Structure 1
Amino acid sequence: MSFRTTKAKLSASTAALIAISAASGAFAQDAADADGYLGTIVLGEGKRTVQTDTAVPVTIVDQAEIEDRQAGTIAELIDTVPGVTLVNGTTAAGSGINIRGYGANSTYGTDGKVLVQIDGATKGSEELYRIGSQLYTDPFLYREIEVLRGTIGSFEYGSGVFGGVVRLETIDASDLTGGELGFVGRQTLEFSTNGNGLASSTTLAWQPDEQFEVLFNYSRRQLGVRTDGDGNQINPNAGDIDDPSGLLKARYTFGAGNDQFVEFSYTKTQQEQFDVPYDQFGTAAFGNVDRYIENEVATLRYNYNPGDVSWLNVTAEILYSDELVESEAIVGPNPLLDADNRYRTTTLRVKNEALFSTGAVAHQLRTGIEYIQRERTDATAGSAPGGTKEALAFYAVDEMRIGDRWTITPALRYENQTITQDPINGNATYDKDALMGGVSARYAFGNGWAVFGSAAYTENLPIIDDIDDSVYIGQSEKGRSYEIGVAYDGVDVFRSGDSLAFKINYYNDHLTDLTTYVGRPETETVTAVDREGIELEAAYAMENGYYIDANAHISNGTAYKKNSVFAPRGDWIQNPQDNLRLTVGRKFGEELDLSWETELAKRYDEGGFVSPGFGVHNLRATYVPQSGMLEGTNMRFGVENLFDKAYQPRLSTRNATGRTFKVTLSKTF
């Protein structure tokens, strides 16, 4: 698919969106007149704000949307972000996140090209064989998820980011207390019909004075075997899921003018499964195991931000992540099935944000230095080789604003790493370093319109998995990307009181020296990949409460293969389906939000791989009484896959879940 074809398709989608927005105006006005008794309507806003003020392709899922989506996994919270595709996204252990064709696949839960951070702590990116994602955590713990797509916005967070960055921030006590002194609690219960799901979340927040706040959360999620749209059980041998999770978070503010704070957070999630297939993707019969999964993240952060020193806003962090996947073969011993995988990552980071001017240029300079030590326990029979990776990195990102129109942001990152073999296997040591970076530019016309573009280069340094390969342990995967786009944000566009925002972004990636896909029959030793695509995010809202949110992703990719019995090039096997998501809804003041969402995916038929197209519809209703006995209560009702359609999204190995009714009750006291 050429860029011209891609652009034409997306232009048609954009035109259709604007036409829908305009055509809905008369209907919306009539409905408002008929339903005026429901009270004051909030000035137009939809589910999500389009980030039109930056050249970085970024999407933010805030707490209101997290609660609205009633998701069971973190992956399900971000599947509406353009460019994001889920691999078996409804279960944490067997799911994965794919962004722009990189990340999770049918063999590994990740390919190391999508970075995930929880409260700044980087999660694992090793190639766990057929175990799925290592993002074991619960949506109830989080207040915001930021998804950065592509490379250009990643240099503050890590190297080798070809797909994107997923950053999760846990809830704060002040999210419940609103900054007011005292004690606040919240109890949430959630029920889902498909799989007889039950989830509970208890949150307690205490703010005794203006300087100290503390929060505790305990969540538990239980889910049985679900069925697809045809009534067939999905992964019936996997058994029931029982995931307890917890969060403890505290902050103490002190100093002159409260210009300093110390913050501690700790999260933990556990999962046990008995007599389940080792292969969580359901594509091979290796045998059954008892599996225990545990994920812990602890962070300690100090910040000093004197109000009278603009060039000083320094943060020092200690971050620790412990990920354990423990398996025991039902019929054993078995070297693969008995393999235990453990990853312990410690990060020391100091960063600063400086605000200053040089002539007509206003700078926001973000700099940082970090030391990362990652220990991987050697698994049985070397199925996952053990070792230690130590990395030292420096980064600088300078957001330069020139007048009211130009924003130019150069970014650099230097990283040096040393991988040391587990002593039980030897004492080999491997060093590698890389200098990477990019620049983005945005020009605002002053009338709501803006254009932007970027160029970036990054390297994915060798990982511990490559320690037994004398060639690949010294070879970095390299990637360059170019992006260009246009954005608009305005009010009173089609009628008084309305708002329209959209962002269209074209990207072009070229990856070389790839080592990740060696030995996988379906990729035939892919050594290079070219991908291009267009992403759309749009939001239209009217003063009477009606809104439309939309996003789309259209892309294609080509793989270059070495020593293949097939053609030397072909379609990239991890190309996602082209898709469009559209949400139409109405808000009645602060009390009621009704919405209909549809996801449309185009049939994929390239390179001998076929994924049928599909259309799925979801309904959501949120009722938040503003007075009376029910004040402080949230009631949410949702229907997912309304017409009980049987379908299998591309990149997934199982059918998606059939029709599911969800009810969530939450009370703040």
Structure 2
Amino acid sequence: MRPVTGRRTALFTTVAASALLLAPPLHAQDAGTPAASTLLQRIVVGTGVEKVAIDTPQAVTVLDQAAIDEQQPETIGDLFREIPGVSIVGSDSVLGESINIRGIGEALAGDEKRIIIQVDGVNKFFEQYRMGSFFSDPELYKQVEVLRGPASSTLYGAGAMGGVVTFQTKDASDFLDPGDKFGGRVKGTWDSNGNGWLGSTILAVQPLENLEILGAFNYRQSQDKTDGHGDKLNDTDFSSLNGLAKVRYTFGENADQSVFASYQRWSSDEDNQNYDQTAWGTGFGTVDRTVTDQTAIVGYENFFFGNDLLDFKAQVSWSDTLVKQDNQDPVCFSPTRCVYPFGLSAEYQYKTWQAKADNTATFQLSDSWMAYLTTGIDGQYQERLNPRTWSNGTANGSGAHPEGETTLVGGYAQAELAWNDRVSIIPGARVDYSRLHVGSAQVYNSGTGRFNTINLDRTETKVAFSPKLAALVKMSDWFGVFGSVARTERMPTLDEVFNNYMVNDVEKEVSTNFELGFTVSFNDVIHDGDGFQLKTTAFRNSIDDYYASFWDGSQVQTDVIPEALYEGVELEAAYASEAWYGSLGASLVRGRNETSGGNLNAVPADSVFMKLGYVYQPWDLDFGWRGDFFATQDRAGANESQTAGYALHNLYAAWTPEEGRFANSELRFNVDNIFDKSYRNHLATNEGTGRTFKLSFSQRF
């Protein structure tokens, strides 16, 4: 990697020194001494075989329920604001957020399948001009995992060049103690900035010993927020209704089988919103917009009690994301010449049917060696619908956003060889087939001022291959090293093949990624039972035929970069005892156009996240400080502006009594951006939110 100079060198030198200074006086980990849990000891589900984050040969961050509640997030984007290597692209509008991982993910292109998003194993994808890519509410989820890098493609799908984000919804068992037939929770939150509030009710019942049912309902609303100057942030006002229903029935002689079903829905209906939700540009006028996102799942699990070769799960699902737009303002080229480039009214809809099945077999190879083999198949059929009502009375898709169909079928195998909990070797491979088809579309003829129908009627097919090899070796009880090499191919999307009223000859993007890192883990550091963990990852991701989208001042352009290079370092460290705890995360990413030598767009600023907290057990009180530090980003791409560095300071406190009248209740109070700092994140198109007081109260029953 290129050397880093100036303040960024000092920033990361300080971070590394702060983490490693704790190591020399520590005692090596004793397997018989339980250490206090840290963020690096949270269970990672999305790895084939469950393990804690520090023992995965990949950079992964897990947000459990406690971590989600501590942030008191209002939007999905709030969940990722302190995860190394992850940034939110676009705006603070609930309809304008997309995800960037390690510099991959742009405001005008969204993630375009370079980042795979899943909810309970269901792929979620939405791409519309100047809109976000995922619409939901953080209150629905109990765990979020971010797996960074292309190695995730093996289990989740070709093209995960940035990585994978998985969301797990709440379960009835989360609110039922052993023997309970009935349980649940009520919760209310309030945010001072925007006077936003949430009302949430969860009901869990277990009418039979082997039957669990969950129902959840949330309503959230907010007025426009203000930045550090006190200026209004347009289109940050919203209201949303969302709910979740789940049922699971367990059966079999050894309760080793279960069937399950779930349905969730999120909706928002807003009038007079800017068409442009990512940059809030006024050139496209305003629109009345209704957004609805739905996911339904039916599945079956069988872990075949007594049979190590079978641990099977299968599910089928349906996903539907629909944006309806009415009362669209015209775009006027002169006082007498106005057109409706997006139609008088329009819909943008992605309807997806998916099916997947996988099995994990366990082999005892010897007294020291264990082997796990995960194999699976998945497939999906997706319709993209874009009916627009035009001024000539017709209704069909746009040539700039054509209607079409995408079919994906993939098969994968991933093995894990483990030796005495010291060595873990993970080879894997995946093959995917993609078929894209597009039909007719409406095209505006600037010469005649009329809309004409063109018949694209084309089909494109591609095959992608995604192999990987990863390994982690614990050199001692306290020190381990890991590394991986992964290759994946991203197949083009409909917009890339069939946009701008023409058929493009699009090649696959090919990513080759190398990672190398080390882990440090100690127990009994300062007091008996405490623990310290550190994980550092360096990566180098080279992408051939990289499709980069940007705004040239008049329209969106897409350049094909023969070779793009991303490289960087991520660090996560955590300490926990019965009273004191803390964490540190840092990220440094560089993105370079190897063909021209220039910087790539959408590369985040260097960042450091720190937290220090204390638990006063006699009062069941948990409080602390969080700091977010961002360096100046002067390595902006050709179509970006530089941004200044900044620091945000935040305070939090939680009271969770275990006994007495308020047992099973939780009171939280946060102050974000306590000094009302004015700032702009490099990947955001608006100023950041000013000082915000947050208050929440929940009661389990």
Identify which of 589, 607, 631 aligns with 1:602.
631
- Partners of 1:252 and 1:597 in 2: CA distance: 42
Identify which of 482, 487, 494 aligns with 1:457.
487
Match of 1:345 in 2: 352
- Partners of 2:91 and 2:72 in 1: CA distance: 14
Task: Confirm or deny that 1:119 pairs with 2:133.
Answer: no
Q: Is the 8 A contact 2:91 2:685 kept in 1?
A: no
Task: Confirm or deny that 1:57 pairs with 2:59.
Answer: yes
Task: Confirm or deny that 1:513 pairs with 2:545.
Answer: yes
Q: Is the 8 A contact 2:94 2:238 kept in 1?
A: no
1:491 CA displacement? 0.4
Q: 1:622 to 1:538 in 2, by over 3 A?
A: same
1:48 CA displacement? 6.3
Matched residues, number: 639
Q: 1:283 to 1:111 in 2, by over 3 A?
A: farther
Identify which of 364, 371, 374 aligns with 1:363.
371
Alignment of 1:246-261 (within 5 A): 246-261=243-258
Match of 2:12 in 1: 10
Task: Confirm or deny that 1:591 pairs with 2:620.
Answer: yes
TM-score by length of 1: 0.91
2:122 maps to a residue whose letter is: A
Task: Confirm or deny that 1:321 pairs with 2:319.
Answer: yes
Q: 1:47 to 1:501 in 2, by over 3 A?
A: closer
Identify which of 368, 375, 382 aligns with 1:374.
382
- Partners of 2:597 and 2:65 in 1: CA distance: 44
Q: Is the 8 A contact 2:259 2:299 kept in 1?
A: yes
Match of 1:286 in 2: 284
1:462 CA displacement? 1.5
Match of 2:466 in 1: 436
2:67 maps to a residue whose letter is: E
1:74 maps to a residue whose letter is: I
Greater Cα shift, 574-583 or 67-76? 67-76
Q: Is the 8 A contact 1:76 1:90 kept in 2?
A: no
Task: Confirm or deny that 1:336 pairs with 2:321.
Answer: no
1:44 CA displacement? 3.9
Q: Is the 8 A contact 1:449 1:486 kept in 2?
A: yes
Alignment of 1:303-322 (within 5 A): 303-322=301-320
1:330 CA displacement? 3.7
Instruction: Give RMSD over aligned pairs.
Output: 2.3
1:407 maps to a residue whose letter is: S
- Partners of 1:46 and 1:619 in 2: CA distance: 20
Match of 2:167 in 1: 168
Match of 1:553 in 2: 587
Identify which of 291, 297, 319 aligns with 1:299.
297
Q: 1:416 to 1:592 in 2, by over 3 A?
A: same
Q: 1:524 to 1:248 in 2, by over 3 A?
A: closer
Q: Deviations over 1:388-420 (max 9, x none)?
A: 111110001101113442211011000011112
- Partners of 2:9 and 2:307 in 1: CA distance: 47
Q: Deviations over 1:28-81 (max 9, x none)?
A: xxxxxxxxxxxxxx9744566462111021111001111111001122112211
Q: Is the 8 A contact 1:341 1:384 kept in 2?
A: no
Task: Confirm or deny that 1:575 pairs with 2:603.
Answer: yes
Alignment of 1:133-532 (within 5 A): 133=133, 135-235=134-234, 238=235, 240-281=237-278, 282-283=280-281, 285-332=283-330, 334-336=340-342, 338-359=345-366, 361-380=369-388, 381-422=398-439, 425-468=455-498, 472=504, 474-517=506-549, 525-527=559-561, 528-532=563-567
Match of 1:36 in 2: none
Q: Deviations over 1:243-283 (max 9, x none)?
A: 10000001000012111001111110001111111001214
1:316 CA displacement? 1.2
Match of 2:129 in 1: 129
1:16 CA displacement? 2.0
Q: Deviations over 1:634-661 (max 9, x none)?
A: 0000001110001011110001110000
Q: 1:576 to 1:379 in 2, by over 3 A?
A: farther
**Unmatched 5+ residue regions in structure 1?**
24-41, 562-567
1:627 CA displacement? 1.1
- Partners of 1:154 and 1:178 in 2: CA distance: 37
- Partners of 1:627 and 1:316 in 2: CA distance: 42
Identify which of 660, 663, 669 aligns with 2:692.
660
Q: Is the 8 A contact 2:39 2:62 kept in 1?
A: no
SS in 1 for 2:662: coil
Q: 1:231 to 1:7 in 2, by over 3 A?
A: closer
- Partners of 2:669 and 2:505 in 1: CA distance: 51
Q: 1:523 to 1:290 in 2, by over 3 A?
A: closer
Alignment of 1:627-638 (within 5 A): 627-638=659-670
Q: Is the 8 A contact 1:84 1:99 kept in 2?
A: yes
Q: Is the 8 A contact 2:669 2:694 kept in 1?
A: yes
Q: Is the 8 A contact 2:112 2:493 kept in 1?
A: no
- Partners of 1:181 and 1:14 in 2: CA distance: 48
Identify which of 535, 539, 542 aligns with 2:570.
535
- Partners of 1:471 and 1:536 in 2: CA distance: 43
2:132 maps to a residue whose letter is: G
Greater Cα shift, 54-63 or 44-53? 44-53
Q: 1:262 to 1:473 in 2, by over 3 A?
A: farther
Q: 1:125 to 1:362 in 2, by over 3 A?
A: farther
Alignment of 1:613-652 (within 5 A): 613-652=645-684
Q: Deviations over 1:542-565 (max 9, x none)?
A: 34x11111100012110246xxxx
Q: Deviations over 1:184-204 (max 9, x none)?
A: 121000001100101111000
Q: Is the 8 A contact 1:508 1:532 kept in 2?
A: yes
- Partners of 1:257 and 1:370 in 2: CA distance: 28
1:8 CA displacement? 8.2
1:327 maps to a residue whose letter is: Q
Q: What is the percent sequence identity of the aligned residues?
A: 32
TM-score by length of 2: 0.87
Q: 1:13 to 1:120 in 2, by over 3 A?
A: same
Q: Is the 8 A contact 2:548 2:558 kept in 1?
A: no
SS in 2 for 1:465: helix
- Partners of 1:71 and 1:193 in 2: CA distance: 13
2:599 maps to a residue whose letter is: D
- Partners of 1:88 and 1:471 in 2: CA distance: 28
- Partners of 2:107 and 2:152 in 1: CA distance: 27
- Partners of 1:22 and 1:445 in 2: CA distance: 16
1:163 CA displacement? 0.8
Q: Is the 8 A contact 1:378 1:422 kept in 2?
A: no
Q: Is the 8 A contact 2:620 2:656 kept in 1?
A: yes
SS in 2 for 1:280: coil
- Partners of 2:384 and 2:486 in 1: CA distance: 30
1:152 CA displacement? 1.1
Q: Is the 8 A contact 1:181 1:208 kept in 2?
A: no
1:170 CA displacement? 0.4
Match of 1:84 in 2: 86
2:113 maps to a residue whose letter is: G
